[in-house]
Amino acid sequence: MSKNRIIYTTLLLLCVIGFWLFENFYTPASYSDTDGSLPTTTFTASFLPSSTRNAITEHQHFILSYNEPYEQAEWVAYVLKKEHLTYDDRKRPYFIEDPKVRTKSADWRNYKGSGYDRGHLCPAGDRRFSNQAYNETFYTSNISPQKNDFNSGIWNRLEMQVRQWCKKYGDIHVITGGVLEKGLPGIGDEDVAVPKAFYKIIIKGKGTDSRLLAFLFPHQESNRPLQDFLLPIDALEQKTGIDFFHKMPKGWQQRMESKVVKTGWAF
């Protein structure tokens, strides 16, 4: 009897050790297209913001600027097309470090027990049209610590509104991220910064005929209408230190960045 107990105890111990090793050291293969054979979604180059750290990383279906001191992207940019709006059922993959970020993106374990969601910047729900597009949104370079009620509340409401605009107007360009500034609290061994605010810029149209809206949300749930959180790009640039449309003509910048223009956007 004691011999059986020893065997069972040993097996149980081995299972516990095996689970711990899997949980802490297993990393799935890259989600990126390694041979260039898969389709891509190209973000219009003239809409790309500046990179304060000169650390731009391109994936098949989104592009980002990684800010290493804060262990997250200062912005993620992507295009949403009508054909992307599918309801395909996808199996959620593991969150893994981004192999294309040269300084390494944050380990997902920083979020364990932190009380914060792994908040997607490019939403997984906007990338259900292919398994590869869906999976690459689970790189940790594409997430930021978010309160659950914020992530599932007003932030989610804006993501749903963007999908409605895409259905109505066609291609939508999106630039989004947390406001990264000195003195933010951090989580995990790598001190992943917890932003006090998140922003999202929505662009429709092409070239100098394009129109945009910019939103800035305090990092908390709110029942207020989305329109209450609009602000001019100039004000958002002062808040973030990012030059959002520096590649666009100066006249367009002066016209579009100095004020909020809601005309032509159905809420």
The residue extents of the domains of the chain are 37-257
Q: Are 216 and 197 in contact (CB under 8 A)?
A: yes
Q: Are 183 and 196 in contact (CB under 8 A)?
A: no
Please tell me the distance from the alpha carbon of residue 169 to that of residue 188, in angstroms, as a whole number: 41
Set 61, 84, 120, 173: catalytic member: 120
Please tell me the distance from the alpha carbon of residue 46 to that of residue 120, in angstroms, as a whole number: 24
Whole-number average pLDDT of the chain: 92
Q: Where are the beta strands (DSSP E) in 107-167?
A: 117-120, 143-146
CA distances 119 to 13, 54, 132, 150, Å, are 35, 24, 19, 10
3 state SS of 20: helix
| Average confidence (pLDDT) over 78-101 | 96
Give 234's pLDDT tier (boundaries 50, 70, 90).
very high
Determine the pLDDT at residue 18: 47
For 3-48, how does the pLDDT look when each residue is reduced to its tens digit (9 = 90+)?
Answer: 666 666 666 665 555 444 444 444 455 898 766 777 899 999 999 9
Q: In the block, which residue shows the tokens 């910048």?
A: 253
61: annotated active-site residue: no
For 146-176, how does the pLDDT look when each residue is reduced to its tens digit (9 = 90+)?
Answer: 999 999 999 999 999 999 999 999 999 999 9
What CATH number is given for 37-257 in this structure? 3.40.570.10
Spell out the long-range contacts of 88-93 with Cβ–Cβ below 8 A and sequence spacing 24 or more.
88/128, 88/129, 90/124, 90/128, 90/131, 90/134, 92/124, 92/138, 93/28, 93/31, 93/134, 93/135, 93/138
Q: Answer whether residue 213 shows pLDDT above 80.
A: yes
| Average confidence (pLDDT) over 215-228 | 98
Q: Are 137 and 98 in contact (CB under 8 A)?
A: no
